[in-house]
Amino acid sequence: MERGPEAKIDLEALRHNLRTVESLSGGSVIAVVKADAYGHGAVEVSKTLERQGAFALAVAYASEAEELRAAGIKSPVLVLFDGEPGPFFDLDLIPVVHSLKSAKRFSREARRRGRQLDVHVKVDTGMGRMGFCISGEGKDTLADICDIASLPGLRLRGLMSHFSEVQPGKGGLDFARLQLERFNSIRQQLAGRGIKPLAHISSSASSLLLPEAGMDALRVGLLLYGALPFSAPAAPASFALKPVMEVKTRIILVKRFGKGQPVSYDRTFVTARRSTIAVIPVGYADGYLRAFSNRACAIVRGRRAPVAGRVCMDVTMLDVTGIRDVSEGDEVILLGGGLSIRELADWAATNPYEVMTSLGGRARRRFE
Ligand SMILES: *Cc1c(COP(=O)(O)O)cnc(C)c1O
């Protein structure tokens, strides 16, 4: 018996989603494949996106790009978090530079190797994470970025920022608009000095809700994998994404209980009637979140079966009472087949990103 979930990754759906996102941007999509392509498998996903003509790929760390280059992927790879310069030259990667100090290190290494390196610079317009802080009127930031533009061995090819909050509904875009204003102000000041790098700030949510932030490229992950970043159907009707990941497992044991039988740790579930309980070989060690306990459903023989009791480390119990002919070996759908990533995220009070990376991250994958 093989443990754990099996994920089917639909590469045709991925291609469809890339085309759909490209229709928003007029072409340029930096496809974000960090965290093993959000649990979908970065190598296969990147090969598919490359063949489909994606403008560029993006990962979080240089170590993630190593795997892509080793698999023969030639696309430009933007690395969102810079680091030791060496690998960027060895693997021909584009760092996003977050400080003048880091830029100088890249410049020194470029000179040492007699090379030129394309870099993008990130400005922190309000995310409070990485990048050059906008202090006062952004004057320090501006001076630093101008310095970078003139460092030997570096070519300042991109300027980027990242939104911290993009939500549908009243007030949901207020802070993003302020961030956009700050970003545009820096852009204009740089342009005034003849520095005009490629500008990108928008990821999935803002691609849909704040089209005026589109600029030269969209930096998109979630939409490519077929999910929306928010609950409300705020996307235009024509914007039909296809889910890329489906996750399945099989029943390993079926038990019949009388009324009053507790199920799993802490007795949080007690049968209210004669019940049939199915055990599946998937637990939180497989990325099936413990927060699904007594909340999520799976699909067994075409019907919804609720999770009964706590999700354990290696197994989970489903209440299949009333579903006919359930037996060991039956297929169980954990995600897909009518169970959307949004439902799973809501059940665990989390976002689709966490569900994808946890569940897909540890599944055995099949690409179709
Ligand atoms: C993860 C990430 C993205 C992609 O975000 P999605 O919401 O998945 O589109 C874009 N930019 C940065 C800086 C990121 O960290």
CA nearest ligand 1 atom 12, residue: 162
Domain interval for residue 150: 56-216
- The label of the residue with tokens 């470029």 reads 110
d(CA 337, ligand 1 centre) in Å:
27
The answer to whether residues 193 and 283 belong to one domain is no
Any ligand 1 atom below 6 A from CB of 229: yes
Residues 255, 265, 288, 353: which is the catalytic one?
265
Backbone angles phi, psi at 357, to 5 degrees: -70, -35
The answer to whether residues 91 and 207 belong to one domain is yes
Residues 6+ apart with CB under 8 A from 146: 190, 193, 195
Give the range among 56-60, 202-206, 237-241, 329-333 with minimum mean pLDDT: 237-241
Residue 265 is among the residues annotated as catalytic for this protein: yes
Question: Is residue 228 one of the residues assigned to a domain?
Answer: no
pLDDT of residue 134: 74
The answer to whether residues 254 and 199 belong to one domain is no
The answer to whether residues 60 and 189 belong to one domain is yes
Q: Looking at residue 274, which CATH number applies to its domain? A: 2.40.37.10
pLDDT of residue 81: 93
Residues 6+ apart with CB under 8 A from 257: 263, 271, 274, 275, 276, 277
For 78-109, what is each residue's pLDDT tens digit?
999 989 999 999 999 999 999 999 999 999 99
d(CA 106, ligand 1 centre) in Å:
24
For 348-366, what is each residue's pLDDT tens digit?
999 999 999 999 988 999 9
Backbone angles phi, psi at 230, to 5 degrees: -135, 165
On whether the CB atoms of residues 178 and 161 are closer than 8 A, the answer is no
On whether the CB atoms of residues 288 and 249 are closer than 8 A, the answer is no
d(CA 30, ligand 1 centre) in Å:
10
CA distance 196 to 198: 7
Single out the residue in 171, 201, 216 at which a domain terminates. 216
Q: Estimate to the nearest angstrom the gap between the alpha carbon of 277 and the chain centroid.
A: 34
Q: Which atom of ligand 1 is nearest to the CA of 204?
A: 9
Residues 6+ apart with CB under 8 A from 326: 251, 254, 276, 278, 300, 301, 320
Q: Estimate to the nearest angstrom the gap between the alpha carbon of 117 and the chain centroid.
A: 27
pLDDT of residue 236: 60
User: According to DSSP H, which parts of the chain are helical?
Assistant: 11-25, 34-39, 42-51, 62-70, 86-90, 100-113, 139-149, 174-192, 204-209, 341-347, 352-355, 361-362
Q: Looking at residue 123, which CATH number applies to its domain? A: 3.20.20.10
Residue 34 is among the residues annotated as catalytic for this protein: yes
Pairing mode, strands 117-124 and 132-133: parallel
**Structure tokens, 99:** 């400080």
Residues 8, 34, 196, 353: which is the catalytic one?
34
Question: Is residue 19 one of the residues assigned to a domain?
Answer: no
For 183-192, what is each residue's pLDDT tens digit?
999 999 999 9
Question: Is residue 18 one of the residues assigned to a domain?
Answer: no
CA nearest ligand 1 atom 7, residue: 204
For 209-236, what is each residue's pLDDT tens digit?
999 999 999 999 999 999 998 875 555 6
Total domains, the chain: 2
CA distance 265 to 310: 6
Mutate to test the pocket of ligand 1, among 22, 80, 224 (most ligand atoms within 8 A of CB): 80
The answer to whether residues 264 and 146 belong to one domain is no
